[in-house]
């Protein structure tokens, strides 16, 4: 009889290699978006998991603390990147990856980018207020202010459109 240990190690190792690549993938992707490592790890693990996973499964599988798992899941929930689901006979919450990148990206824009664009506009207004009379007649300052306005205006228009173009 084949010892249980070896059998298990085998089937796990194939699975793990997909899992590891997935985690790696999302750690980097989330990194570009300024998210901490743990957030990418959790999403990467869930992305290729057919079954919903509980928090303590996530934390033990990734070898991260339950504190990190809890924080990371909160971030992912607020991005609508994971949702929790009911599992019969288990009191714990179980999590699934949301895989519609269009929606994830648009939540990200709304929560993380748009507020910056709003306050950028306030700052531009203050710049206009603080122009001295001399500067008000100086093309150098006027042109530069105009560029900033165009930049924020265009960003505000373009970024949401971008999300719409993501299929799936």
Partner DNA sequence: CATTTATTTCAAAAAAAAATGAAAACTACA
Partner DNA sequence: TGTAGTTTTCATTTTTTTTTGAAATAAATG
Q: Which residues bind DNA (CB under 7 A)?
A: 34-39, 54-56, 63-68, 70-74, 90-93
Report the number of secondary-structure helices (H) and strands (E) in the chain: 8, 3
CB of 9 to its own copies, least distance (A): 14
CB of 42 to its own copies, least distance (A): 16
Element spanning 77, H or E: helix 66-78
Among its own copies, DNA, none, what binds residue 2 when CB lies within 5 to 8 Å by partner kind?
none
Task: Please tell me the distance from the alpha carbon of residue 79 to that of residue 151, in angstroms, as a whole number.
Answer: 26
Q: Does 9 bind its own copies (CB under 8 A)?
A: no
Q: Does 142 bind its own copies (CB under 8 A)?
A: no
Quick count: other Cβ atoms within 10 Å of Cβ 7? 11
Q: Does 119 bind its own copies (CB under 8 A)?
A: yes
Q: Stretches 35-43, 67-75, 78-86, 113-121: which one binds its own copies (CB under 8 A)? A: 113-121
Question: Contacting its own copies (CB under 8 A), which of 103, 142, 148, 160?
Answer: 148
Among its own copies, DNA, none, what binds residue 55 when CB lies within 5 to 8 Å by partner kind?
DNA
DSSP string, 102-163: HHHHHHHIIIIIHHHHHHHHHHHHHHHHT--HHHHT-HHHHHHHHHHHHHHHHHHHHHHHHH
Q: Does 37 bind its own copies (CB under 8 A)?
A: no
Task: Please tell me the distance from the alpha carbon of residue 42 to that of residue 51, in angstroms, as a whole number.
Answer: 14
Contact 44, 22 (CB under 8 A): yes
Question: Contacting its own copies (CB under 8 A), which of 78, 85, 99, 137?
Answer: 99
């Amino acid at each position: 009889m084949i010892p249980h240990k070896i059998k298990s190690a085998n089937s796990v190792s194939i699975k793990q290699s997909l899992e590891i690549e997935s985690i790696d993938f999302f750690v980097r992707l989330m990194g570009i978006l300024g998210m901490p490592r743990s957030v990418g790890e959790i999403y990467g693990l869930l992305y290729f998991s057919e079954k919903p996973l509980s928090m303590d499964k996530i934390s033990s599988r990734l070898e991260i603390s339950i504190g990190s798992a809890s924080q990371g899941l909160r971030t992912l929930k607020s991005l609508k990147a994971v949702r929790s689901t009911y599992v019969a006979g288990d009191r714990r919450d179980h999590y699934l990856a949301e895989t519609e990148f269009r929606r994830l990206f648009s939540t990200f824009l709304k929560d993380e980018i748009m507020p910056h664009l709003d306050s950028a506009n306030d700052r531009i207004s203050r710049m206009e207020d603080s122009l001295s009379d001399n500067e008000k007649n100086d093309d150098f300052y006027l042109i530069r202010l105009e560029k900033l306005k165009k930049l924020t205006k265009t960003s505000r228009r373009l970024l949401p459109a971008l999300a719409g173009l993501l299929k799936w």
